[in-house]
Amino acid sequence: MESKTVDIKAGGGYTVHIGSGILDACGEAVASVIKPCRAAVVTDSNVEGLYLERTMESLRGAGFDPISFVFPAGEGSKNMRVLSEILESFADNELTRSDVAIALGGGVTGDITGFAAGVYMRGIKYVQIPTTLLAAVDSSVGGKTAVDLAAGKNLAGVFLQPSAVICDTGTLSTLAPEVFADGAAESIKYGVLTDEDIFKIFECGDVRSSITDVIYRCVTIKGRLVEEDEHDNGARRLLNLGHTIGHAIENLSEYTFPHGHAVAVGMVMIARAGELMGITEAGTSERLARVLSKNGLPTSTGYSAEELYTAALSDKKRSGDSITLVMPEKIGSCRLMTVSLPEFSDIVELAVNG
């Protein structure tokens, strides 16, 4: 079992392990940073049948005493009610402050388990075992945890860095194509941000056979941004490329439009506006649209500029009368740009109607 590792110097410092088949050694990886204790594995009803028993077995083999909590799969479970059920299950199983929570699954599982770990007994350790590409390249690293409120997505949560991240690339083989595509959008985003080589893998390479390298590169970029700006007030905001318009699309579709798909459209639109404003190299939006289509992602929606502008204003990244956008300069380079709301309205107009 060969694996690559990325060390992240945030929180107490932790290692991201990436490799095929490493789920069967997850117990050893956890034991290298947390001494054997009770381990509460939280997963969803899709992942339960696929990977829960392997995880429990490996944890037992390394001396842990694992228990599990399974919730219904889907974004609809990322709420205060399921959070409360997880916390009650931790208490019923007599987890103490020296025990550990383990998130086994995609973004919803990682976000809600991390939040539960952050508030149970005022904070216990947790480990991320991502099983989707989106969780592997983005949400399992960086310590953002959350649940959704009636008023919007991710409105309640804490920053809590995990103690380890164990990404078995073998688990990606069971993903539905549209779920893999969601993670492809976030991976392509890293290519647009700083690493044209990642972009080229999705443009003309063999993505599946390069997946360990793709995740390694994405996590390395994210790790550096998180180290520089753990609490998301500065450089980390570059990770929001495509997200301002993307979140507006998700919101308008009442969250039926998957996150990565919405980010894909958001990236193309902001690149198009950037080209018309003379900031983005000519041809970038077309190149981006081609690579996204090739990877099963949409590049446009039917929403009007006015609908998108109004929905984008509810974004939590807005601050008072201005909004900070991530503007591509070319593939491999982006910059943060703070604009007034009237300027933002003009940019959305350019993005939609050219």
Which stretches of the chain bind ligand GLY, using CB under 6 A?
Answer: 138, 142, 144, 232, 236, 239
Taking the complex as a whole, the smallest distance from the CB of residue 54 to ligand GLY amounts, in Å, to 27
Residue 47: DSSP 8-state: H
| Residue 105 β-bridge partners | 130
Query: Smallest distance, Å, CB 142 to ligand GLY?
Result: 4
- Report yes or no: 298 and 265 within 8 Å, Cβ to Cβ: yes
Q: Which of 322, 188, 336, 314 is nearest to 245 (CA)?
A: 314
Query: Toward ligand GLY, which CB reaches closer, 59 or 264?
Result: 264
In terms of CB distance, is 19 or 223 closer to ligand GLY? 223
Please tell me the distance from the alpha carbon of residue 125 to that of residue 102, in angstroms, as a whole number. Answer: 9
In whole angstroms, how close is the CB of 305 to ligand GLY at the nearest point?
25
Name the minimum Å distance from CB 239 to ligand GLY: 4
348, burial (CB in 10 Å: exposed 0-12, middle 13-18, buried 19+)? buried
Query: How many residues are given for the chain?
Result: 354
Token digits of residue 177: 């194509």
Q: Are 185 and 297 in contact (CB under 8 A)?
A: yes
Q: What is the dihedral of CA 303, 308, 310, 311, to 10 degrees?
A: 100
Nearest approach, Cβ of residue 240 and ligand GLY (Å): 7
- Report the C-alpha gap between 48 and 68 in whole angstroms: 9
The encoded tokens of residue 273 equal: 């506006």
DSSP 159: B
Nearer to ligand GLY, 89 or 109 (CB): 109
Q: How far is the CB of 223 from ligand GLY (least distance, A)?
A: 11
Question: Residue 329 class from Cβ within 10 Å (0-12 exposed, 13-18 middle, 19+ buried)?
Answer: middle
Q: How far is the CB of 56 from ligand GLY (least distance, A)?
A: 28
Q: Residue 149 in contact with residue 155, Cβ under 8 Å?
A: yes
Q: Which of residues 23 and 165 has its CB atom nearest to ligand GLY in the complex?
A: 165
Instruction: Let me know the angle formed at the C-alpha of 156 by 153 and 157, rounded to the nearest 5 degrees.
Output: 115
Task: Choose between 125 and 236: whose C-beta lies nearer to ligand GLY.
Answer: 236
Q: Nearer Cβ to ligand GLY, position 17 or 247?
A: 247
Closer to ligand GLY by Cβ: residue 87 or 262: 262
Q: How far is the CB of 327 from ligand GLY (least distance, A)?
A: 17
Residue with smaller CB distance to ligand GLY, 38 or 243: 243
